[in-house]
Amino acid sequence: MNIDRDLLQKFERGLDPQHPERSAIPARIIGYGEITTVFEIDAEGVRDLAFKRLPLFNTDAEVERYTAVFVEYNRLLEEEIGLRLPPHDHVVITNARGRPVFYIVQQKFPADSMGTAILQRATPDQVGTLVEHVLHQVCKVWQFNRQHQHLQIAIDETFSNWAWSGHDLFYVDTSTPLFRVNGVEQLDTELFLRSAPSFLVWILRLFFLHDVVNRYYDPHRVLVDLIANFYKDQRPDLVPMGVRAVNEFLATHAREFDIAPLTEKEVRDYYREDAFIWSLYLAMRKVDRFLRTRLLRGEYPYILPEKIVR
Ligand SMILES: Nc1ncnc2c1ncn2[C@@H]1O[C@H](COP(=O)(O)OP(=O)(O)O)[C@@H](O)[C@H]1O
Ligand SMILES: [Mg+2]
């Protein structure tokens, strides 16, 4: 990809994190993850690109380490596992305070081709096919992991991370490159506690590192997460069909992996707990933003969603 670095540098320097549309180079937020913010930038030559901003780094060494892990993760997914990723690149720039900011640049998909949008307008009889399409891709990861004991790769298979384009499914969520070499996590997961209020870091370390990260390496739990997100995506009515579709897949195409089937109850219980953790987390971050921007008059570099509908 041929990215205009100067433009991105100007964008970052002129960015108003609280009001991106009022930035020197105007931008619109097209997606919030739990960690990253995804922009489209209104400037010549970049309108068909999605920009994912990660303001997590303090030093060049940290961003270099992250870059190496990010590049290798993309390579593993594309070349070793055979997932389709959108054409992509990355750019590291320096913000006004001299800190490195990492941008992932991807070809942008139309909003209505993203998995969440497709799920939101799906009819109950389409759910089985949608789930099956995703699981055929996920199966490639399970296959790889089984054949490579020393190298284990995790993806976040939830619907919001897939784009449907023609007959292909593209995986877009590469900002959390999780893979373990001989059991050692290559990503410094502590980075993701950075955006957290300092008064919460210890409790998040407990949840985040031990629970959220491990979850992605456990096929059964990732499947529970996949269907539990139907609640978050405002389609609780599709949960029973989703559970049935997953179990059907596990009993046929994925029988060799011997993964325990799901129950509706565990999906429901999981959602309640997960939604609680993240809404508490977001609420605490807002308190933190208030303290830092209003009371302490400091810089608040992160961008928070106003309200995540659950
Ligand atoms: N290439 C893309 N084109 C269009 N929208 C995208 C693209 N990548 C991400 N998005 C939107 O932004 C959201 C968050 O992006 P994602 O990469 O999943 O970040 P996170 O790791 O924070 O979840 C996605 O669910 C999607 O709605
Ligand atoms: Mg995502």
**Residue 276 binned pLDDT confidence (cut-offs 50, 70, 90):** low
If phi > 0 it is left, if psi is from -120 to 50 it is alpha, else beta; for residue 122 that is beta
pLDDT at 110: 97
In a shared domain, residues 102 and 148: no
Convert the pLDDT of each residue in 225-239 to its tens digit. 999 999 989 999 999
What's the 81 CA to ligand 1 centre distance in angstroms? Answer: 21
Look at residue 139 and give its three-state secondary structure: helix
Is 95 in the same domain as 125? no
pLDDT exceeds 70 at position 310: no
Structural domain range at position 59 = 5-107
pLDDT above 70 coverage of the chain, percent: 89
Task: Tell me, yes or no, whether 254 lies in a domain.
Answer: yes
CATH at 29: 3.30.200
- Amino acid residing at 34: E
Q: Which residue has the higher pLDDT, 107 or 193?
A: 107
Using CA atoms, how far residue 37 sits from 56, 138, 173, 223, 302, in Å, is: 12, 25, 12, 25, 9
pLDDT per residue as tens digits for the range 39-56: 999 999 999 999 999 988
Q: Where are the alpha helices (DSSP H) in 199-238?
A: 201-204, 213-215, 219-232
Boundary residue ending a domain (79, 107, 135): 107
Using the predicted structure, report yes or no on whether residue 252 has a pLDDT greater than 90. Answer: yes
261 Cβ inside 6 Å of ligand 1: no
* Assigned domain for 306 exists: no
Is residue 82 located within the same domain as residue 135? Answer: no
Same domain (yes/no): 147, 273: yes
Residue 232, ligand 1, Cβ within 6 A? no
My answer on whether 149 and 246 are in the same domain is yes
Is 35 close to ligand 1, i.e. is its CB under 6 Å away?
A: yes
- Domain endpoint, select from 47, 79, 107: 107
Say whether pTM exceeds 0.85: yes
The protein residue whose alpha carbon is closest to atom 17 in ligand 1 is 173
